[in-house]
Structure formats: C-alpha cells, structure tokens
Amino acid sequence: MNIIITPTYSATFVIGMQIGYTNQHYKKSELISFLQQFQQKQIAERNIYLSACVSECEIVLSGQVEPHFKLDFINYPKFTLDEITFKREIELLTVFLMDTLQQNRIVVVYHNETKMFEKSEDIDPRI
C-alpha cells in the first residue's frame, strides 16, 4: 500500500442556483458541465487537476431562503498543488462560474482565510 502525505489546503464556496436575482434557476447538471469544462481546460493547458465535491444546500438569511450548490475542494494527494497555485485555481474557477452562471457574489472559505468576490454591492431584495 502506498501512502501519500501532502500539505492540507482546502476551500469551500457556495453558489446560488438562481440566475441573478430572478426566480429562474439553472440545474445541477449545468453547473457540473461548466465545472468540467473549466477542469478540462486547466488539465490540457496547465496540467492542473482540481476535483470538486458538489452538494446541495440552502442559504438562510432573514427573509431569504435560497437554494445553493456547495463546492468543496482539497489539495488532492494524487495531484498535489502548492498553496499559491491551489488558491489561484479556486479563484479562477470562482470568477468563471460567477460570469457563466450570472452570480453577483461568492464567498470562498479557505483553510486560513475568507475572500469575497463581488461584482456589485447589490443585495437580494428578499433580505
């Protein structure tokens, strides 16, 4: 048995299922398709493998109960990255998904810091 030990880097972010602040939603299959598109590009161009765990959840704040997808990432031992590369790849993916899925804001929680990516200061009117 081979045991590989790597430094622990992790990241999590949630992305709303709603398109903008509308009542229209995209499907999980669409998110996965866009995620795989990004992954294939990074593999082909930079030999970067970034796997994701995708699950469904709800964000609750005041009057808002919004369905989201949660994406979890680790520094996968088979395709280990240094911390700077790991964070850069997460952030490239974050911006790609924000643009592709028309999201205004995404908060990325890393193992050692939290970053908010925001296109505008607009707030969901249901809050």
Model pTM score: 0.93
Q: Per this entry, what is the length of the chain? A: 127
Contact between residue 62 and residue 124 where contact means Cβ atoms under 8 Å apart: no
List the beta bridge partners of residue 10: 74
Please write the tens of the pLDDT for every residue from 1-25: 999 999 999 999 999 999 988 889 9
Both tokens assigned to 36:
């795989």
**3 state DSSP class of 105:** strand
Contact between residue 16 and residue 97 where contact means Cβ atoms under 8 Å apart: no
Please write the tens of the pLDDT for every residue from 44-100: 999 999 999 999 999 998 888 889 999 999 999 999 999 999 999 999 999 999 999
d(CA 13, CA 4): 26
Both tokens assigned to 66:
């919004």
Contact between residue 14 and residue 69 where contact means Cβ atoms under 8 Å apart: yes
d(CA 37, CA 20): 21
User: According to the model, what pLDDT value does residue 20 have?
Assistant: 85
Query: Strands 53-61 and 10-16, how do they pair?
Result: unpaired
Contact between residue 73 and residue 50 where contact means Cβ atoms under 8 Å apart: yes
Q: Residue holding tokens 């109960």? A: 65
